[in-house]
Amino acid sequence: MGEALHAALTERYDALSTSLRNRVISFVLDAFDSLGSYRDAEAAAFIEQVLPTVLAAQQTMGQITDAYLSAMIADMLGSAAAPTGVALDEALRGVDPAEVYTRPFVTTWTALARGKGYAQAVAEGRTRLLSITETDLQLARTHAAQQCMQRSGAKFFRRRLTGSANCALCTIAATQRYRVERLMPIHPGCDCKVEPLVGNKDPGQIIDERLLREAHDAVAKGVGASDAGGRAPDYRQVIITREHGEYGPLLAVRRHEFTGPDDIPGS
């Protein structure tokens, strides 16, 4: 069925995963906003209230990701889709989830201890909670995708950008192919999805020349570098993957500020 089926599967998966993500984030933030205070007792009550929902949402994200990728791969290979489920550890970060969801309160307490106003301190805790929740759902997606693709025998995948606005880190990373044995690199708040590549022959590091050129043009406007081939600067040296103790592969920039073309490593 090819492109038409893939488009339909992708549209359905995007709708389901986006709806799940939005509902969970709204639930978690509403619970945080409704607290009368942010002391130890309220933190414990918050965790007891939201953690079961968050953990259930991670499992659901894993299930719909497995179903989506199984159907995509089956169509690519001309076989029947057979999702068998994925096994996601509750502690996807390797840290007790209760400890993770205490961190927004620690952020709030720390801000207060540093003399910041109550409203600002709570806002900082809320921002951290949003980042934690988004990242946990994305980790569920990437872990499930890796299990599904390894089970299918797929060798390579790409990241597919989601939505109308994407950060530079994800845009550059979307021009590259990745090996299935490694998790897709993410960053806090990332919502990209995984898409398997057809066949077991290595397509090469760069799989989207057009997008790479467009990304190069956008960066060149800011730093003054220009190269129609999109190879100077070498984005593999600018956008890098670091191993994070909890997230796994983490998208990062080698330097956070560029003052000119000489500040970006060459090819």
To the nearest whole number, what is the mean pLDDT of the chain?
A: 80
- Rank 3-12, 119-128, 163-172, 247-256 by mean pLDDT and report only the highest: 119-128
Q: Which of 4-8, 19-23, 132-136, 170-174 has the lowest mean pLDDT?
A: 170-174
Q: Which of 5-14, 122-131, 211-220 has the lowest mean pLDDT?
A: 211-220
Question: What angle (nearest 5°) sits at the alpha carbon of residue 35, between those of residues 29 and 36?
Answer: 155
Q: What pTM was computed for the model?
A: 0.77
Q: How far apart are CA 191 and CA 139, in angstroms?
A: 10
- Mean per-residue pLDDT, 178-192: 76
What are the structural domain ranges in the chain?
1-153, 155-267
- Mean per-residue pLDDT, 241-246: 65
Residue 26 scores a pLDDT above 90: yes
Could you read off the pLDDT of 42-100 as tens digits, one per residue? 999 999 999 999 999 999 999 999 999 988 888 877 766 666 778 899 888 889 999 99
- Which is more confidently placed, 200 or 59? 59
